[in-house]
Amino acid sequence: MDREQQILTLIRQNPFISQHEMASIIGISRSAVAGYIAALTKKGTIRGRAYVTSDENTVMCIGGANLDSKATSKQAIRLASSNPVTVTESCGGVARNIAETLAGLACQAALLTVVGDDKAGQWVLEETRKRGVDVSQAIVLQGENTGTYTALLDATGEMFLAFANMDIYDKCTPALLRDKWPHVASAKLIIADTNLPAETLAELIDRCKEENLPLFIDPVSSEKAKKLPQDLHGVTAIFPNWEEACQLAGIAPSSSSSSDYSTIAGAIRARGVRHVFITLGSQGVIYAGEEGERHFPPIPTKVVEVTGAGDAFVAGIAYGVMRQSTYMESCMYGLTASHITLQTDQSVASELTEERLQQTLLHLTKGDESQ
């Protein structure tokens, strides 16, 4: 094993190891260790303080990790009345869902989030860890309540109303981001949701631009999309639905129609985003970016429930990009991941594995939509 590999092995075992300790273990001078570290840093193999190693396979997801409660009505919902429902609880949060989906697709996924020191926070982190996500950088905040999301779905599985308690994400400050930056910068791809405060999103976008790090943004909602800075140079790809896209473009949804897709996407790109994916539900997806412009029709799907389909779409795109597909090619991975998720009542479909994704896409491209 050469010296550089010896040093890398020691750093991976303990990112906080000192140069003196490495010199002693390897049997060379501290100045020689410093020289090797400088060379590794120049190559981009290690980044930042604490010698965090660059892992070419990791996706770092930053943002929400909640306790989700879903109440599904057994009949047509009646306002101002008691409605019989079936209630389920699960782990949620856009960033967390994307991370878990990626882990299910055999990607190395890490999650940077904040939870409270309550049972909900413990459960969310433990369940996420069990599902293959690295949660070592998640922060447990004393005296805080873990984020919660409560959705009311109608009898067809469509969302009727939702309530969110996300005050804890105000604690995801720029200082916290700076403290965790070596771990963020060591990833191959960063995905953030807009549960983060505006100032943290602005800093993340700026730093990714400065350091040429790929960054995906999920706007989450039209209201939360308002937290994004006007200048989005530094955002590699963004994934709004139609309402969020209109918000990002500064155009009222009621005044827009299908003929405005290109205009809306162009307005978002004008803010600096390189790749724009506008999800249109039953109308498919509009892609506009450096690879051109294209409308992807939807995959015919027997919908069980819509929750999590958008997160699966983002994860599918990330999966494709991580495997060197173009953004247009990756859109089919995203649509297929959503297609599989929509056929389940899970926010993160356990059926969505790498093998299932590849097989389903293969059948779809052959014209067999029985999947």
Domain at 225, CATH number:
3.40.1190.20
| Residue 259 pLDDT grade (very low, low, confident, very high; cuts 50, 70, 90) | low
| Percent of the chain surpassing pLDDT 70 | 94
Q: Which domain holds residue 339?
A: 56-64+94-145+169-365
Task: Report the DSSP pairing between strands 285-289 and 275-279.
Answer: antiparallel
Residue 289 sits at the vertex; the CA angle it makes with 355 and 243, to the nearest 5 degrees, is 85
Q: Looking at the predicted structure, is the pLDDT value of residue 81 above 60?
A: yes
For residue 299, tell me if it sits in a domain: yes
For residue 199, tell me if it sits in a domain: yes
Residues 319 and 194 reside in one and the same domain: yes
Residues 210 and 356 reside in one and the same domain: yes
356, 361, 364, 370 alpha-carbon torsion, rounded to 10°: 10
Residues 141 and 233 reside in one and the same domain: yes
Closest to 325 in 3D by CA, of 352, 351, 287, 363: 287
Count how many residues are written for the chain: 371
Closest to 234 in 3D by CA, of 181, 274, 194: 274
The span from the CA of 247 to the CA of 245, in Å, is: 5
The whole model's pTM is what?
0.80
Residues 322 and 255 reside in one and the same domain: yes
For residue 181, tell me if it sits in a domain: yes
341, 342, 348, 352 alpha-carbon torsion, rounded to 10°: -10
Domain count, the chain: 2
Q: Which of 25-39, 226-240, 327-341 is predicted least confidently?
A: 25-39
Residues 252 and 359 reside in one and the same domain: yes
For residue 264, tell me if it sits in a domain: yes
The CA radius of gyration of the chain, in Å to the nearest whole number, is: 22
Q: Which of 38-47, 285-294, 356-365 is predicted least confidently?
A: 38-47
Residues 310 and 177 reside in one and the same domain: yes
The one-letter code for the residue type at 218 is D
Cβ neighbours for 367, distance < 8 A, ≥ 6 positions apart: none
For residue 87, tell me if it sits in a domain: no
For residue 152, tell me if it sits in a domain: no
Q: Quick one: how far is CA 67 from the chain centroid?
A: 17
Residues 191 and 221 reside in one and the same domain: yes
